[in-house]
C-alpha cells in the first residue's frame, strides 16, 4: 500500500511540474526581415537555410566594448520566467563569435543575456572557462563581472561541443536563478544567481556581439 501511495504522489508531482509550463511561443525565424514580426536593434538579419535548418543569421553592427550589442526581438514576445531553447552555430575564430539569447529586455542598454564564445570551447585554460557567460546590462557587463567576481558568471561548457557545429542550449530562468544546459547534458554548464530583478512580461530574443551568428529552433516556454 505504501508503494502505491508513493507512486501516486510522485505521479502528481510530475503532473504539477508539467502543468507549470505554459504554451510554447515559437517565433517565426523566416519572418526576421518583417518589421511587423521582429524588432532589430543594432543588428542586421537574414533568413537562411543551413544544414537543413531554417535559421537566422544575425550580424552585430557594433561592439560591446563600445556599449553596443545586437538584439533581435520577436514583436509581442512576453517572458518573465521559464525556459528558452535554441540551436546555435558560431565559429572557431578567436574573438569573432559571441552569440546567445537576451531576456528581461527593457531597452538596448538594459537586459540580461546568456551567450557563448565557441572559439573557447576547446581552448586551453583559463580561456576554456570563458565559454558561456551570463551578464546583466548596463552595470554587470562581462568585463565588470570578470574583474569583480572572477569565475562566478562564466564557465566551460561540458560536454564540449564542436565549436564550428550546431549545438543546442536550454536556459532555465527562475525569479532568482539562471541555469544553462548544452546539448543533452544532465548537469548545467552554468548556474548563476540573477543580478537584477526580473520584469513581468518583458521581451526575450536573440543576442549577438561584435560579429555574427546563426540561430535556429528558437522556443520560449513561459512558466504559468
**Which of 106, 68, 130 shows the shortest CA–CA distance to 204?**
106
pLDDT band at 9 (very low <50, low <70, confident <90, very high): very low
106-122 tens-digit pLDDT: 999 999 999 999 999 99
pLDDT at 17: 43
Q: Is the predicted pLDDT of residue 198 greater than 70, yes or no?
A: yes
| CB-based contacts of 98, cutoff 8 Å, min separation 6 | 64, 90, 115, 116, 117, 208, 209, 210, 211, 213
Query: Model-level pTM?
Result: 0.89
Q: Is the predicted pLDDT of residue 90 greater than 60, yes or no?
A: yes
pLDDT at 20: 62
Query: Span 65-87, mean pLDDT?
Result: 95
Within a 10 A sphere around the Cβ of 192, how many other Cβ atoms? 22
CA dihedral 194, 199, 205, 210 (to 10 degrees): -60
The CATH topology of domain 23-222 is: Jelly Rolls (2.60.120)
pLDDT at 200: 85
Residue recorded with cell 501516486: 8
pLDDT at 28: 95
Q: Mean pLDDT, the chain, as a whole number?
A: 91
- For 21, 51, 105, 164, 178, the CA distances from 151, given in Å and listed in that order, are 31, 34, 25, 25, 15
- For 60, 92, 169, 197, 214, the CA distances from 166, given in Å and listed in that order, are 20, 12, 10, 32, 9
**Which of the two residues, 52 and 7, has the higher pLDDT score?**
52
- Give domain limits for the chain: 23-222
Give the separation between CA 143 and CA 49, rounded to whole angstroms.
34
**Which of 132, 148, 130 shows the shortest CA–CA distance to 191?**
132
pLDDT at 16: 41
Q: Is the predicted pLDDT of residue 8 greater than 80, yes or no?
A: no
pLDDT band at 31 (very low <50, low <70, confident <90, very high): very high
Query: Span 149-174, mean pLDDT?
Result: 97
Contacts 24+ apart (CB under 8 A), 49-54: 50/89, 50/214, 50/216, 51/89, 51/166, 53/87, 53/166, 53/216, 53/217, 54/29, 54/30, 54/216
Q: Is the predicted pLDDT of residue 22 greater than 90, yes or no?
A: no
Query: In this prediction, what percent of the chain has a pLDDT beyond 90?
Result: 84
Polymer length of the chain: 224
| CB-based contacts of 161, cutoff 8 Å, min separation 6 | 118, 121, 167, 182, 183
CA dihedral 128, 131, 132, 134 (to 10 degrees): 80
pLDDT at 12: 44
And the C-alpha cell for 134? 551570463
Amino acid at each position: 500500500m505504501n508503494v502505491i501511495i508513493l507512486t501516486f504522489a510522485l505521479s502528481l508531482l510530475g503532473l504539477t511540474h508539467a502543468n507549470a509550463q505554459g504554451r510554447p511561443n515559437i517565433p517565426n525565424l523566416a519572418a526576421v526581415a518583417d518589421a511587423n514580426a521582429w524588432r532589430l536593434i543594432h543588428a542586421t538579419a537574414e533568413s537562411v537555410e543551413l544544414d537543413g535548418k531554417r535559421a537566422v543569421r544575425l550580424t552585430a553592427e557594433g561592439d560591446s566594448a563600445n556599449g553596443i550589442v545586437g538584439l533581435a526581438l520577436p514583436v509581442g514576445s512576453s517572458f518573465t520566467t521559464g525556459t528558452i531553447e535554441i540551436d546555435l552555430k558560431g565559429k572557431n575564430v578567436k574573438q569573432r563569435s559571441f552569440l546567445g539569447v537576451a531576456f528581461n529586455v527593457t531597452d538596448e542598454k538594459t537586459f540580461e543575456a546568456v551567450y557563448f564564445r565557441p572559439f573557447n570551447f576547446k581552448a586551453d585554460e583559463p580561456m576554456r572557462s570563458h565559454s558561456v557567460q551570463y551578464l546583466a546590462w548596463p552595470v554587470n557587463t562581462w568585463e565588470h563581472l570578470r574583474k569583480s567576481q572572477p569565475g562566478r558568471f562564466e564557465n566551460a561548457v561540458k560536454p564540449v561541443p564542436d565549436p564550428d557545429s550546431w549545438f543546442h542550449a536550454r536556459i532555465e530562468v527562475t525569479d532568482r536563478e539562471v541555469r544553462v544546459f548544452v546539448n543533452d547534458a544532465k548537469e548545467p554548464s552554468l548556474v548563476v544567481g540573477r543580478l537584477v530583478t526580473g520584469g513581468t512580461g518583458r521581451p526575450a530574443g536573440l543576442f549577438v556581439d561584435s560579429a555574427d551568428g546563426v540561430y535556429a529552433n528558437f522556443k520560449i516556454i513561459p512558466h504559468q
